[in-house]
Structure 1
Amino acid sequence: MRKNILKYSILIIFLIFISLGFTSIKEIEINENFKVTGSLLNTVSMEEEPLVEVTPPFLGKSFVGFKEALGFKESRGDYFVTNHLGYIGKYQFGASTLRLIGIHDSSDFLNDPELQERAFIANTARNKWVLRRDIKRSVGKRIGGVYVTESGILAAAHLAGPGNVKTYLRSGGVTGFKDANGTSIRYYMRKFSGYDTSYIQPDKKAKI
């Protein structure tokens, strides 16, 4: 009788132990599944989030806004690009213009963003000196159907050279100019109208 009781007792303990063991394993499986499921949900959630478009700060009609807008139009702001006509850098300088402001190594220029920014300032200062009388006479007038501003004149000079802009203004917009891509002085004068370019001082001998 005692042996039977002992057998039953051992059997009951064994069954309880097995029951607890399965419960623990099940809880572990549930917990692990929960972790995996949570991880997958997080992954899906991250993939479904819309991409945030990063935009540059609004520069308005400041001088920095002027040069950045012009650089974007010329090359999309790429310092290291050379176009099919051989114009280089962010502002698409030609070799002859670079020589005028004291730069003779195009390769070094192309790989030096700081030098390109300095070149833009120097070239714009030189153009402003060449066009100083035309700026004084023409700003505030409507020429060729476009309201003339100093920044528009300077942008057009960057495109076509100050001599061509002088001819355009003095002809009342009759004698025009288009570059190899078909872009005109009139277009640049309109597109880059109204920026504050007072930062640039006219300089006949502007050099790097």
Structure 2
Amino acid sequence: MKRWTSFALHLAMIVVFTSFGSFSVTKKESPKVPESLRVTLELEPIVLQQQKTPVEEIAVNPPFLGKSFNGFKEALAFKESQGRYHIVNTLGYLGKYQFGKNTLRLMGVYDIQGFLQDAALQEKMFEINVARNKWILRRDIKRFNGKRIRGIEITESGILAAAHLAGAGNVKKYLRSYGKNDVADAYGTTISKYMKKFAGYDVSEILQKRNAKV
């Protein structure tokens, strides 16, 4: 019995150890990435920075005051100088409406610095210049108003804007050549562009005047 008991005890212990030994702990391995999919570049961290837009790059829209004479002159002033009274461009043109010195003298203004400082004088000067160009171009306005030249509708306000840009004499040549003599200013702006851009404004409140002066 002792011998049998000892044998049975040993047999039971063998069974127990054999049972526990059948379980093994497997080591968890990370999945392998194929060489073709590995990223070999060294990536730099992205730092977001606040962008600052220079003042001169901010889009500014011209004031829209309808199709009245006031709307006409403000739209034209914005194109010329963005409506600034004290500006002098690289070619020496002056003020809100960018008048040349010869034009100023022709209409009785000789104090250039005083002109730049006087907003009321600049506004008056613009109206006088429109009245003067109306007189010079009176026959052409009557003849071409409402017609089309090379796809552009010709209007009184377009004619007067073009005269402000290039002079009444050049506008006459443009109209009478039916658009062949389309001159441009020093910055490349053409008569036809002003004809189109400033068409359709009501400029009837300014009457034509011969030899208009301040």
Please report the TM-score for the alignment, with normalisation by the length of structure 1.
0.72
Q: Give a deviation string over 1:48-94, Cα, whole Å, max 9, x none.
A: xxxxxxx8874110000000000000000000000000001000000
1:79 to 85, 88, 106: 85
**For residue 128 of structure 2, what is the aligned residue in structure 1?**
122
Out of 149, 154, 161, the residue aligned to residue 148 of structure 1 is 154
Distance 1:71 1:56, change over 3 A: closer
Q: Distance in 1 between matches of 2:206 and 2:149?
A: 23
Asked if structure 1 preserves the Cα contact closer than 8 Å seen for 2:64 and 2:75, the reply is no
Alignment of 1:1-208 (within 5 A): 58-208=64-214
C-alpha distance in 2, partners of 1:71/1:79?
A: 9
Q: Is the 8 A contact 2:62 2:82 kept in 1?
A: no
Change (3 A) 1:57 1:158: closer
1:100-158 deviations in Å (ceiling 9; x for gaps): 11111111101100000000000110001000000000001001321000000000000
Is the Cα contact below 8 Å between 1:68 and 1:77 reproduced in 2? yes
Name the one with the larger helix percent: 1
Runs of 4+ in 1 over 4 A off after TM superposition: 55-58
Aligned positions, number? 155
- Equivalent position amino acid for 1:77 in 2: G
Please report how far the alpha carbon of residue 171 of structure 1 lies from its aligned counterpart in structure 2 after TM superposition: 0.4
- 1: CA distance between counterparts of 2:63 and 2:179? 35
Structure showing greater radius of gyration is: 2
Q: Is the 8 A contact 2:184 2:191 kept in 1?
A: yes
CA RMSD of aligned residues (A): 1.5
Which segments of 5 or more consecutive residues in structure 2 lack a partner in the other structure? 1-60
Identity of aligned residues (%): 64
1:144–1:174 CA contact under 8 A, matched in 2: no
Query: Is contact 2:128–2:213 with CA below 8 Å preserved after alignment?
Result: yes
In structure 1, distance between residues paired with 2:63 and 2:162:
25
Render the CA deviation track for 1:27-62: whole Å, top value 9, x for unaligned: xxxxxxxxxxxxxxxxxxxxxxxxxxxx88741100
TM-score, structure 2 normalization = 0.70
